[in-house]
Structure 1
Amino acid sequence: MNEKYSASALMNPLFPDEVSFGEKGVTFKVRKLFKSTDNFVFYSDISGVEIENGVIFSTIRIIPRMRPEIIINNFSKGDAKRVKELILQKVQV
């Protein structure tokens, strides 16, 4: 599985956050104006996924077992739901 989801370009057209799925884990790319952070988390290290829905966009909160939570912003509600479903499918395997 090599799926990739990007945040909406409306809120941050030059630096959208990204979620990339691999065979062993997920990479979360959180971008800012002058820096970006890549976080790779093995599926087995994820203890939960939360979605906070706004009026238009959603925030995805990943809760790893032994590190601080990862927050990625401005995803469409459909993409946020799909990201959560894909992660939970792999976590339960």
Structure 2
Amino acid sequence: MNERFSASGLMNPFFPDEVTFGEKGVTFKVRKLFKSNDNFVFYSDISGVEIESGVLFSTIRIIPRMRPEIIINNFTKGDAKKVKELILAKVQA
């Protein structure tokens, strides 16, 4: 299972955030102008997923058990919902 989702290019065309699903966990790549942060979280370490939807785009908030939350921005509503469903399916398995 190596699915990958990228944020919309409308809000940040050169540095979109990414979510990549692996066998044991999820990698969240949060990009800024001169840096990026890669956060790998095991499925078993995720305690929750929240989606905050705006008019056009959604923000996904990942809540790991022993770490600060991870916030990824500018995903389409459909992609945000799919990311949440995939994470929750793996967390509950």
Q: TM-score, normalised by structure 2?
A: 1.00
Q: How many residues align?
A: 93
Aligned equivalents of 1:18 and 1:29: distance in 2? 5
Aligned equivalents of 2:21 and 2:84: distance in 1? 11
One-letter amino acid matched to 2:3:
E
One-letter amino acid matched to 2:14:
L
2:4 counterpart residue number: 4
Following superposition, which runs of at least 4 residues in structure 1 exceed 3 angstroms of deviation?
none
For residues 12-47 of structure 1, the C-alpha deviation after alignment (integer angstroms, 9 at most, x for no partner) is: 000000000000000000000000000000000000
After superposition, where does 1:13-32 map in structure 2 within 5 Å?
A: 13-32=13-32
Identity percentage of aligned residues: 87
Give yes or no for the alignment of 1:46 onto 2:53: no
2:80 counterpart residue number: 80
Q: TM-score, normalised by structure 1?
A: 1.00
Which ranges of structure 2 fall in alignment gaps of 5 or more residues?
none
Please give the root-mean-square deviation of Cα atoms over the aligned residues, in Å: 0.1
Which ranges of structure 1 fall in alignment gaps of 5 or more residues?
none
